[in-house]
Structure 1
Amino acid sequence: MTLSHLSSIISFFLFTASISGQKLYTPTLSLQREGVLRDPERAVSASIADDFETFFFNQTLDHFNYRPESYTTFQQRYLIDSRHWGGANSSAPIFVYLGAESPIDGSPTVIGFLRDNAAQFQALLVYIEHRYYGESIPLGMSFEEALHETNIRGYFSSAQALADYAAIIIHVKQNLKARDSPVIVVGGSYGGKLASWFRLKYPHLTVGALASSAPILYFDDITPQDAYYSVVTKDFKEASETCYQTIGDSWSEIDRVAQEPNGTSNLSEMFKTCKPLESGDELKNYLMSLYAYAAQYDDPPRYPVTVICNGIDGANTTENGILGKIFAGVVAYKGNSACYVNPPTNVSQTDLGWGWQVQYTLDHI
């Protein structure tokens, strides 16, 4: 979907709000990586450190229960860019980015869509950090401590996050006396789920939601559990039938080699692993993640899926057969490196928290 198409959607949301005949009274009473492409005709300066103000909201720990600890509060971070805002008197819109499974720090630069459209719509931009990430962790705990403490971990849910966003949106509009400024919430992937759910659960607070790449139907008994990897498989098959077939044959070949004497050592040597493999499954998990990431972010002009398949199809290898071709695909994608597979990594909050996010997301169904 192009930026011009998305802009027309925003225009529709705002037009609908303006002709509804009802003022937007506020009653009393959450997808990132580098190298995201930007529309050069709309893109603004990437130097944005001075464009945003950082605020902290005194957020309620538990929005839904009435136990004594429910009234505990914590500081939740949000960012505001008001450079292009037309102001409350003009009922200029407010675009709210709902933070997902990572700290909010990089969102203003990576999520270019809001900034690229702010001037056209004279919009206020608000980015809200999801509870338990970045600087929005309850009770002064570290992220690890909050996840380890069972009672505190229970508040790490999508429903609580949505209520957080509602409270901050109300707070911002009250502070700016922007009662009549329509709000559009925006999110991607899990954040897109949050945006769509927010529109359903809090329709009095937002006139629309942009839910980019949001797997809103990806739940048991709605979408098959293998649907994601079916799409990944389709991407590779469309790129190259022989590449697709080689990858398909490689799984049983990895199992076969792993079961041989010194099998995992041989696999470690074939794939130049950064540390010895403990099992064939470890290698298979790495490859599945690599293929999935390449398919999910199959960006032009590089097109990672094609890069991997060109490496596999173009491999001139006889010694290691199918697995030699698979390794050639890894090298084509990763480039020359001292080692591949299981490299040392810094575990991020996303890595630690996503498993719990997936589990607690189900509370909203």
Structure 2
Amino acid sequence: MTIAKNCVILLGLLLVIVNVSNTVASLSIPDPYLVKWYTQKVDHLDYSNRDVFKQRYIISDKHWKPNGPIFFYAGNEGDIFSFANNTGFMWENAPRFNAMNLFMEHRYYGESLPYGNKSFNELKYKGYLTVEQALADYAEFVTEFKQHTPGARDSPVIVIGGSYGGMLASWMRMKYPHIVIGALAGSAPILQFPGIYNCSQYYEIATKSFENYSPLCSSSIRKSWAAMRRVAKTDEGRSWLTNLFRLCNPLTEDTVNEFISFVSSAWDSMAMTDYPNPASFLQPMPAYPIKVACSYLTTPNADDHSLIKTIYSASSVFYNYTGTVQCNNIAQTGGSLGDLAGWYFQACTEMILPICSNGVTDMFEPNEWNFTAYSKGCYESQGVYSDRMKALILFGGKNIKSASNIIFSNGLRDPWSAGGVLESLAPSLLAIKIPGACHHEDLRFTGPNDPKQLLDARALEIKTLKSWLTTYYTENRIDNPAKNNELFYKMG
């Protein structure tokens, strides 16, 4: 088991960095916005380090009024425009609340690189890529922004995020409750850490999504791993696979594992994003892409070559639905090198999110998870040892009942829901389970095919945000600028 293979699996936390250029171009932000830069500290924990960097953020205040709320998106592992383009909940509800939208890019991702091109060259540069430093970035920025923006000094801030960004949103509310009055954490697997999580659950949920369309579909995938490895044993077989899957580089004995991971990523990525409307979140895909993929996977007992041909057709629903991809690069299925390097480092230091498979209760090739081997691989590739306890110690794991004003939303068909908070822990720690929904689907733009349970979840989120804001304005004796806004009183 190599660290490269495990990091690819972990990168699925938010594969928004897959094909970032296509994602950014495929959607447009609905309201006018500005791109700005904030001069940020590199190190919030050392009084002797004076290094700074430019941190990118997006601001849209078309609907905002003085003292109106600020919706702050806690950027995660990718280009900030990818999140701005795919978080329709904020854009659709800014008019309702007379809110301002702010999206801040996570340090070491997108264009917010503390040491430019050398940010990942050495540990002395990349060592500042931590959750604690990222949260401090957001806390300092929000504080300074409110102080220096006319009319915003008394504006309540609600932090919003999805996936790793959802984890950051919930943790920001826990760590800085005096700065943000509440958090909406979509598909945030804050319980997916060693010691409190069963690593097999992720792939079991993904498998159920395929089985629900057709048992023949999941059976075809389950049998394909052995078929691909048998074919890949010979030079002739590897050449055939190279041509069939249109690989950018010839498949070799040394890259067979990468190829297997490449195919595997198509399945769990589709399980994450089996949305009811066409989407370009990870890659351009049709509505219900698993249904389309499974239409090819109907002959699990076919001979190896015939079965693999169906696997190619099905996986192309994810990798090349538009038919415009010239070749597939299995060595790097993500976006820019910086985004990959950043997440690989975080996955090795503190974002230790175990995922394993057995091929029996799931349809994936068996792959056990062993922390000792994992940490050893991290030291060999990154020069660091993994700390599986850090996040639990810093943020409490399951012991977060003392926190307040956090919504944990999870689509129950999302594999990452296995590590999510699925039961309300207190009246103000609300868990919203959305049957049939996928990865932070509630945060996406409303679509014509959205099912009732998804619309109901969004309505409950809006109702909860209203409650937080009403309490804030009442307790602080501040006029709610949306009190005469008809939209404020509609839905939720």
Q: Distance in 2 between matches of 1:319 and 1:158?
A: 45
Task: Report 1:310-349 matches (<5 A).
Answer: 310-313=295-298, 320-331=305-316, 334-335=320-321, 336=323, 341-342=328-329, 347-348=335-336, 349=338
Aligned residues with identical type, % of pairs: 38
Partner of 1:248: 222
Partner of 2:129: 156
**Aligned equivalent of 1:60, options 41, 66, 71:** 41
Q: 1:60 to 1:274 in 2, by over 3 A?
A: closer
**Aligned equivalent of 2:73, options 74, 80, 97:** 97
Deviation at 1:293, TM superposition (A): 1.4
Partner of 1:307: 292
Contact 1:85 1:118 in 2 (8 A): yes
Deviation at 1:253, TM superposition (A): 1.6
Q: Distance in 2 between matches of 1:347 and 1:326?
A: 24
Partner of 2:51: 72
Partner of 2:341: 352
Q: Distance in 1 between matches of 2:190 and 2:204?
A: 17
Deviation at 1:160, TM superposition (A): 0.1
Contact 1:189 1:212 in 2 (8 A): yes
**Aligned equivalent of 2:145, options 162, 172, 176:** 172
* Offset from partner CA, 1:51-90 (integer Å, 9 cap, x none): 2233322211111123x3x2322222222211111213xx
Deviation at 1:314, TM superposition (A): 7.2
Deviation at 1:272, TM superposition (A): 4.2
- Rg larger for: 1
Deviation at 1:323, TM superposition (A): 1.9
Deviation at 1:46, TM superposition (A): 4.2
Q: 1:35 to 1:151 in 2, by over 3 A?
A: closer
Contact 1:317 1:325 in 2 (8 A): no
Q: 1:194 to 1:326 in 2, by over 3 A?
A: same
Q: Distance in 2 between matches of 1:155 and 1:337?
A: 38
Q: Distance in 1 between matches of 2:44 and 2:210?
A: 45
Gaps of 5+ in 2: 1-13, 278-286, 352-389, 393-492
Deviation at 1:227, TM superposition (A): 2.5
Partner of 1:11: none
Q: Distance in 2 between matches of 1:235 and 1:319?
A: 24
**Aligned equivalent of 1:192, options 149, 166, 169:** 166
| 4+ aligned runs moved over 6 Å, structure 1 | 33-36, 314-319, 343-346
State the AA in 1 paired with 2:64.
Answer: W
* Offset from partner CA, 1:80-126 (integer Å, 9 cap, x none): 211111213xxx21110111111223433332211110010011211
| 324-333 or 298-307: bigger deviation | 324-333
| 308-317 or 122-131: bigger deviation | 308-317
Q: 1:73 to 1:295 in 2, by over 3 A?
A: same
| 341-350 or 119-128: bigger deviation | 341-350
Contact 2:158 2:183 in 1 (8 A): yes
Q: 1:314 to 1:340 in 2, by over 3 A?
A: farther
Partner of 2:240: 266
* Offset from partner CA, 1:133-183 (integer Å, 9 cap, x none): 2332224x22xx111121111101111000000001101111135333211
State the AA in 2 paired with 1:303.
Answer: Y
Q: 1:318 to 1:87 in 2, by over 3 A?
A: same
Contact 1:311 1:331 in 2 (8 A): no
Q: TM-score, normalised to structure 1's length?
A: 0.78
Q: Distance in 2 between matches of 1:178 and 1:328?
A: 53
Q: Distance in 1 between matches of 2:325 and 2:61?
A: 47
Deviation at 1:235, TM superposition (A): 1.1
**Aligned equivalent of 2:197, options 223, 234, 246:** 223
Structure having greater relative contact order (Cα 8 Å, sep ≥ 6): 2
Q: Distance in 1 between matches of 2:38 and 2:204?
A: 42
Partner of 2:480: none
Q: 1:75 to 1:319 in 2, by over 3 A?
A: closer
Deviation at 1:318, TM superposition (A): 6.2
Q: Distance in 1 between matches of 2:317 and 2:140?
A: 48
Contact 2:209 2:271 in 1 (8 A): yes
Q: How many residues align?
A: 318
**What is the DSSP-based 3-state SS (H/G/I as helix, E as strand, rest coil) of the residue aligned with 1:206?**
coil
Contact 2:220 2:299 in 1 (8 A): no
Contact 1:270 1:320 in 2 (8 A): no
* Offset from partner CA, 1:307-353 (integer Å, 9 cap, x none): 11101227997682322332332345534578664378784132232
Q: Distance in 2 between matches of 1:153 and 1:54?
A: 25
Q: 1:127 to 1:339 in 2, by over 3 A?
A: closer
Q: Distance in 2 between matches of 1:46 and 1:271?
A: 34
Q: 1:327 to 1:125 in 2, by over 3 A?
A: closer
Gaps of 5+ in 1: 1-30, 37-44
